[in-house]
Amino acid sequence: MSDTPLLKVEDLTVRFAVKRGGGFGQKHYLYAVDNISFEVKKGETLAIVGESGSGKTTAALAVARLVAAYQGRVDLGGQDILQLAGEDLRQMRRRVQFIFQDPYSSLNPRQRAEDVVREPLLSLTKTPAAEQQAIVDDLFAHVGLRPEQKRLFPHQFSGGQRQRIGIARALSTQPELIICDEPVSALDVAVQAQILNLLRRLQAEYGLTYLFISHDLGVVQHMCDSIAVMYMGKIVEHADRLSLFNNPLHPYTAALLSAVPTVDKTLRQKSRRILIPGDPPDPVNLPKGCRFANRCPVAQARCREEAPELKQVAEEHRIACHLVDESAQSPL
């Protein structure tokens, strides 16, 4: 693990035009990702967590150039990948691979397992045919599939095995960055552990860097080195693993953590549940102040007027809240 960031995202914004009302003229935009910045160090895992609609998946898709960014910079090893086109873009796709949430819909049902894994080699690399088979065989062994399963079709596999095929496919082009979008949330609990352990083993073995998208804080706590919490398109808190879980500063992060049901008896008795009432605001007509203010238990007048900037309050700890200063004390 070195200190050089492999991925550096600056002021990334993704917006979608939405239809509103029957009028002509004015277009409305939904800012799914609104001016976010973060870095991922080589060999480490950054999690983006948040609830549905927070923009975490859109951010990941924009980093992989699977949706168009409106503005910003996505720097991968010194190159702004938002500016790439043609052959350069193809090279970038080789370096950034994706593991999808749903192993049922992300594999082509008419392709045999080995062809699924070989596909990126054919479309993104110039690997000679003779070497391809060796690479595929090697990947099958590494993700825990048996050689005789190569000729099977996706429907002949269980959910966990399918996700292994998806992982092998992502590894085939020797990528530097792998984006894991909720890689275990569609799997049965007992199978989740198998896949999470596999992802960590592969990371150690190949020196992989993960951008890990998840809503499951238990999984994130286990998998990640640093965490960015998103709410309504904004990063509200960004910290290393120990700071975020042991000293969550943003009221939303604290509420999110306290909402997770746990078998840990001491934690359950110790933590006061912070219930946040209501629902998030309309993403097209956002309030002018802090986006969390209408649900925040400690919001003040200023929070409704002025949007907080993401600021550094400790080493490796950034937060967007008016009520937290350099002393890094929780406002709750």
Enter the tokens of residue 148.
């005789």
Minimum CB separation of residue 58 from another protein in Å reads 16
Closer to another protein by Cβ: residue 28 or 268: 268
Amino acid (one-letter) located at 327:
S
CB 230 within 8 A of CB 49: yes
Question: If we measure between CA atoms, which residue out of 105, 138, 106, 109 comes closest to residue 121?
Answer: 138
Q: Which residue has the tokens 């309030």?
A: 287
User: Which residue of 2, 26, 266, 327 would you call a contact of another protein, by CB under 8 A?
Assistant: 266
Nearer to another protein, 280 or 331 (CB): 280
- Compare residues 176 and 237 and give the one whose CB is closer to another protein: 237
Q: What DSSP designation does 279 have?
A: -
Name 65's Cβ contacts closer than 8 Å, sequence gap at least 6. Answer: 81, 82, 84, 89, 92, 93, 96
Which H or E element spans position 243?
A: helix 241-246
Cβ 122 to another protein, closest distance in Å? 31
Indicate whether 204 belongs to the interface with another protein (CB under 8 A): no
* Contact residue for another protein among 5, 72, 120, 160 (CB under 8 A): 160
Site string for another protein, 268-307 (x = CB under 8 A): x-x--x-xxxxx----------------------------
Rounded CA gap, 115 and 14, in Å?
A: 34
Rg, Å, the chain Cα set: 21
Show Cβ contacts of residue 177 under 8 Å, excluding neighbours closer than 6 positions: 6, 7, 40, 76, 95, 96, 97, 208, 209, 210, 211
Measured between alpha carbons, how far is 45 from 42 in angstroms, rounded to an integer? 8
Alpha carbon 273 to chain centroid distance?
A: 26
Pick the closer one to another protein by CB: 6 or 255.
255
In the complex, minimum distance from the CB of residue 278 to another protein, in angstroms, rounded to a whole number: 7
Residue 84 or 196: the one with the smaller Cβ distance to another protein is: 196
Regarding 215 and contact with another protein (CB under 8 A), the answer is: yes
Instruction: Give me the 87-116 binding string for another protein, x by CB under 8 A, dash otherwise.
Output: ------------------------------
Stretch 216-255: interaction string toward another protein, x if CB under 8 A: -xxx-xxx-----------------xx--xx--------x
Nearer to another protein, 120 or 154 (CB): 154
Q: Are 58 and 15 in contact (CB under 8 A)?
A: no
In the complex, what is the shortest distance from the CB of residue 64 to another protein, in angstroms, rounded to a whole number? 24
Kindly list the distances between the CA atom of residue 258 and the CA atoms of 17, 50, 153, 252, 274, in Å, as whole numbers in the listed order: 35, 14, 42, 10, 6
Nearer of residues 69 and 296 to another protein, judged by Cβ: 296
**Of the candidate residues 8, 142, 200, 304, the single one contacting another protein (CB under 8 A):** 200
Q: Which is nearer to another protein, 4 or 158 (CB)?
A: 158
Residue 270 CB, nearest approach to another protein (Å): 6
Residues that bind another protein (CB under 8 A): 51-52, 158, 160, 188-194, 196-197, 200, 215, 217-219, 221-223, 241-242, 245-246, 255-268, 270, 273, 275-279
